């Protein structure tokens, strides 16, 4: 594997715009599509199991595959609870050529939390710090953590994150909701700004409720960047809009961002203009996974692409049955 460039979080272009890791979504085809639309973004993999990587699971190791020419900076997110397994997994990720490792301490899915993974690690700061320290000692590439405000409030956010940084975390991405909120209610970014004030030297990225470039400008505050996940599904062009809105921003003395003259709003694409990108996504998926599996996994994306359109229900009913790219082209051309 080609040696990665010396990526570091402090040297990453500010403001950072990152694609959030999403299970079943951010595979190589989606990452490559997003990088074609917005080349400056940082992409993350789907959530990969540290246990599976430790035991050499073939399917999980295959999910480490990426295109070094089109996906850098390339961050691999891993989850688990066994520090020894993180030791092995971190080394496997580095050997695969990744630019960084991200540790999931924020996933609220019941099956993840019930295994003491993801958000459950917020309730065990000692174990969380041990995992970070183990991964950091195992590799030379940056180690970051994605977490949440806390379990049911943000009271422990600063001390918890301070422990992670002391253990070696190079960057933190914070979803601005608690575990108990899951994805409901409004995201609260105020604790993130307080966290950045408490840890000014640490790269801190905010995540939650960014659905437009205007949202990104409004929410970034004193943070180093923003991360967007669910809002990109069916609308990957939002990343171009966000990058345009934040372009030319300058940091003021108090750490907050001032939007410069280079900031621009993007022209919304018509559905006709989106079709070549949708077909391109299909091509990338088929190239990565073969036509049968690639088109099967594209069905959820295709349903997202037509959401909100006139006749979306009928289109969706057709698109969730496609097996070939030419079928997609035929349906959308109508």
The residues, any chain, with a CB within 8 Å of residue 73's CB and separated by 6 or more, are 7, 12, 42, 43, 99, 100
In this structure, are residues 52 and 80 in contact, taking their beta carbons and an 8 Å threshold? no
> If 0-12 CB within 10 Å is exposed, 13-18 middle and 19+ buried, where does residue 23 land?
middle
The number of residues in the chain equals 334
What topology is assigned to 271-333 in CATH? Answer: 1.10.1200
**Distance in angstroms (rounded) separating the CA atoms of residues 195 and 158:** 6
**Distance in angstroms (rounded) separating the CA atoms of residues 217 and 226:** 9
**Distance in angstroms (rounded) separating the CA atoms of residues 214 and 31:** 23
Residue whose token pair is 């003491």: 116
pTM here is 0.94
- Asked if 107 is an active-site residue, the reply is yes
> If 0-12 CB within 10 Å is exposed, 13-18 middle and 19+ buried, where does residue 83 land?
middle
Neighbours of 328 (CB within 10 A): 23
Q: For residues 136-156, b (16+ Cβ closer than 10 Å) or e, as one string?
A: bebbebbbbbbbbbbbeebee
> CA quadruple 124, 162, 166, 196: dihedral positive or negative?
positive
**Distance in angstroms (rounded) separating the CA atoms of residues 59 and 73:** 23
Q: How many helices (H) and strands (E) are present in the chain, helices listed first?
A: 14, 10
**Which pLDDT tens digits describe the chain residue by residue (334 residues)?**
445 458 999 999 999 999 999 999 999 999 999 999 999 999 999 999 999 999 999 999 999 999 999 999 999 999 999 999 999 999 999 999 999 999 999 999 988 998 889 999 999 999 999 999 999 999 999 999 999 999 999 999 999 999 999 999 999 999 999 999 999 999 999 999 999 999 999 999 999 999 999 999 999 999 999 999 999 999 999 999 999 999 988 999 889 999 877 666 667 889 999 999 999 999 999 999 999 999 999 999 999 999 988 889 999 999 999 999 999 999 998 7
Write down the domain spans for the chain: 16-258, 271-333
Please give the pLDDT value at position 268.
82
76: helix, strand or coil? strand
**Distance in angstroms (rounded) separating the CA atoms of residues 102 and 143:** 6
Which one of 107, 161, 243, 282 is the catalytic residue? 107
CA 115 and chain centroid, separation:
22
What is 16-258's CATH superfamily? Aldolase class I (3.20.20.70)
- List the structure tokens of 21: 């890791």
């Amino acid at each position: 594997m080609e040696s990665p460039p010396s990526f570091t979080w402090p040297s990453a272009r500010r403001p950072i715009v990152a694609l959030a890791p999403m299970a079943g979504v951010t595979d190589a085809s989606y990452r490559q599509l997003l990088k074609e639309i917005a080349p400056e973004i940082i992409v993350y993999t789907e959530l990969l199991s540290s246990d599976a990587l430790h035991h050499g699971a073939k399917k999980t190791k295959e999910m480490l595959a990426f295109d070094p020419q089109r996906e850098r900076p390339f961050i691999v997110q891993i989850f688990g609870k066994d520090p020894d397994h993180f030791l092995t997994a971190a080394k496997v990720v580095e050997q695969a050529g990744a630019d960084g490792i991200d540790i999931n301490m924020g996933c609220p899915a019941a099956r993840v939390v019930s295994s003491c993974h993801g958000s459950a690690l917020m309730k065990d700061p000692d174990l969380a710090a041990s995992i970070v320290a183990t991964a950091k000692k195992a590799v030379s590439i940056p180690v970051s953590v994605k977490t949440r405000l806390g379990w049911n409030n943000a009271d422990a956010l600063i001390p918890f994150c301070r422990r992670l940084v002391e253990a070696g975390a190079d960057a933190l991405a914070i979803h601005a909701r608690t575990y108990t909120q899951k994805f409901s209610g409004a995201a609260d970014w105020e604790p993130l700004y307080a966290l950045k004030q408490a840890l000014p030297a640490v790269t801190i990225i905010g995540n939650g409720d960014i659905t437009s470039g205007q949202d990104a400008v409004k929410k970034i505050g004193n943070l180093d960047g923003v991360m967007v996940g669910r809002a990109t599904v069916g609308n990957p062009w939002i990343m171009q809009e966000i990058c345009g809105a934040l372009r030319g921003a300058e940091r003021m003395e108090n750490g907050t961002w001032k939007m410069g003259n280079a900031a621009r709003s993007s022209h919304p694409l018509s559905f006709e203009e989106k079709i070549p990108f949708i077909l391109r996504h299909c091509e990338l998926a088929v190239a990565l996974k073969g036509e049968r599996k690639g088109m099967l996994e594209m069905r959820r994306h295709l349903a997202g692409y037509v959401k909100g359109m006139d006749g979306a229900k009928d289109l969706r009913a057709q698109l969730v049955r496609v097996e070939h790219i030419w079928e997609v082209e035929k349906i959308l051309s109508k």
